[in-house]
């Protein structure tokens, strides 16, 4: 490549770099505006909440601990329904009346 060919590309490279820098500045400005708007909307949303986030988190944590303890207890001691199976069932009571079969819905596809 000759020196003459290199000199023609120099201004194009500088122009491309300048356009990229300008685009990055515009992108950064847009991100800053979006972050500011998001923070303002979040503050407004938090102020409108009936239960403060800290209290809501505490309630959910208490609920999670209770359900976790119940699950662990069931896992250790067995499910109450499994324990009830050892008791013989009462006599089966026949149904008082039979339930007629349901008619197909008008929009239901026909099967054949």
pLDDT tens digits, one per residue of 14-60: 999 999 999 999 999 999 999 999 999 999 999 998 988 899 999 99
Q: CA-CA distance, 72 to 67, in Å (whole number)?
A: 9
Q: What is the mean pLDDT of residues 64-91?
A: 76
Burial code of 2-37, b = ≥16 C-beta within 10 A, e = fewer?
eeeeeeeeeeeeeeeeeeeeeeeeeeeeeeeeeeee
Of the CA atoms within 13 Å of residue 8, those in its CB half-sphere come to 5
DSSP structural state of residue 92? P
pLDDT category at 67 given cuts 50, 70, 90 is very high
- Contact 59/51 with Cβ under 8 angstroms? yes
Whether residue 5 has pLDDT greater than 60: no
- pLDDT value at position 96? 58
Using alpha carbons only, give the angle 77, 81, 84 rounded to the nearest 5 degrees.
95
Lowest mean pLDDT among 45-54, 70-79, 82-91: 82-91
- Residues of the chain above pLDDT 70, percent: 62
Higher-confidence residue: 23 or 102? 23
Mean residue pLDDT of the chain comes to 80
38: its two tokens: 């998001």
Of the CA atoms within 13 Å of residue 39, those in its CB half-sphere come to 6
- pLDDT value at position 62? 95
């Amino acid at each position: 490549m000759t020196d003459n060919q290199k000199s023609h590309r120099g201004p194009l490279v500088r122009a491309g770099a300048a356009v990229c820098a300008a685009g990055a500045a515009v992108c950064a400005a847009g991100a800053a505006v979006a972050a500011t708007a998001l923070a303002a909307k979040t503050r407004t949303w938090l102020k409108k909440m009936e239960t403060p986030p800290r209290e809501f988190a505490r309630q959910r944590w208490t609920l999670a601990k209770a359900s976790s303890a119940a699950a662990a207890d069931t896992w250790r001691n067995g499910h109450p329904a499994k324990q009830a199976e050892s008791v013989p069932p009462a006599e089966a009571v026949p149904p008082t009346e039979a339930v007629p079969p349901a008619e197909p819905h008008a929009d239901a596809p026909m099967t054949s």
